[in-house]
């Protein structure tokens, strides 16, 4: 079979031409495309400021540093995410404090947040998992009550909305990311969006080796980093941003097709979307019932040419986090239960209906060969009418 990839960027001639124009100019970094991209991203998000950087991880780190969260301070966040949403605190010697997730949305369970707040808690960092915003109404209420910062990891959720408000803008600062599997890409890259002028100025400085914003050349006012985004990446981002609505709509069409074709497949749990959410699909993740061996199903799919990966594995069970904090299995049972069954399947703007049909057929086939239920119980589930207890 021809391989159907897990993800594929949507690049047109417009993007190629935009990059070539930069290559023909004298400005490959810190040039006019950087400012243009930041202005257009701020306008799209509806914030006063946008600070482009080389990754979403860098963006999160800069916000943590700019807010002065360091040296034993605690940030409440989720263990079901890409690891950078927790690592960004460790860079400043702060501590991620995990709260378990909701089984339906996979987002932070807001009912458990207050029990984890201590005198050291400085912020809440929700992650809008797979492009579905967390319950920002409740997170904002809690943050206001306890005088906490909110940092939105919207790296997977550009264009998404919670109750009519765009993801990334319901906080002190938010971050979008532009890795090639995201809704839009700059190759590598991220951007901080905020309405806080002082925070934005610090981020401008941090991304460029701590240089002062209005000071002379090679004048450094703080410890900073090389987190710059090149003008090449910015040009690509500008061209992609011009098409962002069409690309989000294309991903919605693909998601709708999967939802329809997989809705009656036994053993598959489909994404559950909160009615207050406008989704911006980053990936399409199914979850298998416990009687299916997810890892075996994944091996079968990969052998058959269907790209797939576990999404996500629990952060607290990563070797580094076990060693550093002493986490063990059972600490966050919902996260562990969900993570044991999730699988991202091929999802990109230009996937064809024929390819989707192949993916669905191969999922059904993989399920048949990866059931771990005993035959007697499996037949009971399928037939139903027979009174097995009387046999």
Map out the domains of the chain as residue ranges: 13-99+107-241, 245-390
- The answer to whether 134 touches 256, Cβ cutoff 8 Å, is no
Residue 168 has pLDDT above 70, yes or no: yes
Residue 85: its pLDDT value, please? 98
User: Phi and psi for 101 in degrees, rounded to 5?
Assistant: -110, 165
Confidence of residue 372 (pLDDT cuts 50, 70, 90): confident
Comparing 2 with 125, the larger pLDDT belongs to 125
Rounded to an integer, the average pLDDT of 297-322 is 97
Q: Distance (Å, rounded) from C-alpha 130 to C-alpha 126?
A: 12
Q: Which fold has domain 13-99+107-241?
A: 3.40.640
Residue 387 has pLDDT above 60, yes or no: no
pTM of the model: 0.93
Residue 213 has pLDDT above 90, yes or no: no
Query: Which strand ranges, in their side-by-side order, compose the sheet holding 173-177?
Result: 49-53, 190-194, 173-177, 149-153, 121-125, 74-77, 95-98
User: What is residue 182's three-state secondary structure?
Assistant: coil
- pLDDT tens-digit series, residues 137-158: 999 999 999 999 999 999 999 9
CATH topology of domain 245-390: 3.90.1150
Preceding amide of 312 cis, omega within 30: yes
- Res 383 pLDDT > 60: no
């Amino acid at each position: 079979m021809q391989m159907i990839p897990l993800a594929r960027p949507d690049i047109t001639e417009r993007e190629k031409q935009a990059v070539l124009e930069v290559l023909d100019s004298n400005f490959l970094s810190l040039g006019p495309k950087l400012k243009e991209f930041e202005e257009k991203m701020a306008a799209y998000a509806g914030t006063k400021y946008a600070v482009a950087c080389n990754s979403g991880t860098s963006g999160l780190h800069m916000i943590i540093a700019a807010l002065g969260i360091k040296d034993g301070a605690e940030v409440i966040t989720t263990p079901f995410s890409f690891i950078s949403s927790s690592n960004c605190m460790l860079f400043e010697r702060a501590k991620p404090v995990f709260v378990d997730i909701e089984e339906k949305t996979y987002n932070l369970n807001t009912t458990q947040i207050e029990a984890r707040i201590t005198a050291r808690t400085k912020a809440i960092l929700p992650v809008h998992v797979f492009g579905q915003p967390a319950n920002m109404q409740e997170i904002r209420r809690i943050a206001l009550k306890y005088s906490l910062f909110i940092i939105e990891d919207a790296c997977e959720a550009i264009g998404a909305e919670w109750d009519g408000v765009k993801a990334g803008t319901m906080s002190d600062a938010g971050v979008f990311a532009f890795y090639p599997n995201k809704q839009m890409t700059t190759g590598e890259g991220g951007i901080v969006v905020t309405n806080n002028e002082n925070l934005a100025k610090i981020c401008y400085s941090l991304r460029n080796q701590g240089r002062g914003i209005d000071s002379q050349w090679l004048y450094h006012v703080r410890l900073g980093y090389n987190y710059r985004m090149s003008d090449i990446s910015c040009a690509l981002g500008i061209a992609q941003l011009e098409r962002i609505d069409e690309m989000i709509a294309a991903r919605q069409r693909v998601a709708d097709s999967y939802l329809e074709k997989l809705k009656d497949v036994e053993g598959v749990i489909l994404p559950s979307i909160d009615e207050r959410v406008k989704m911006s699909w980053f990936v399409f993740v199914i979850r298998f019932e416990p009687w299916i061996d997810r890892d075996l199903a994944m091996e079968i799919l990969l052998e058959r040419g269907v790209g797939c990966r576990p999404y996500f594995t629990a952060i607290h069970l990563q070797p580094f986090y076990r060693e550093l904090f002493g986490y063990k299995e059972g600490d966050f049972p919902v996260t562990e239960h969900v993570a044991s069954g999730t699988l991202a399947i091929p999802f990109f703007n230009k996937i064809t209906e024929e390819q989707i049909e192949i993916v669905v057929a191969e999922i059904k086939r993989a399920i048949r060969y990866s059931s771990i239920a005993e035959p007697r119980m499996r037949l009971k589930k399928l037939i139903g009418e027979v009174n097995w207890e009387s046999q």
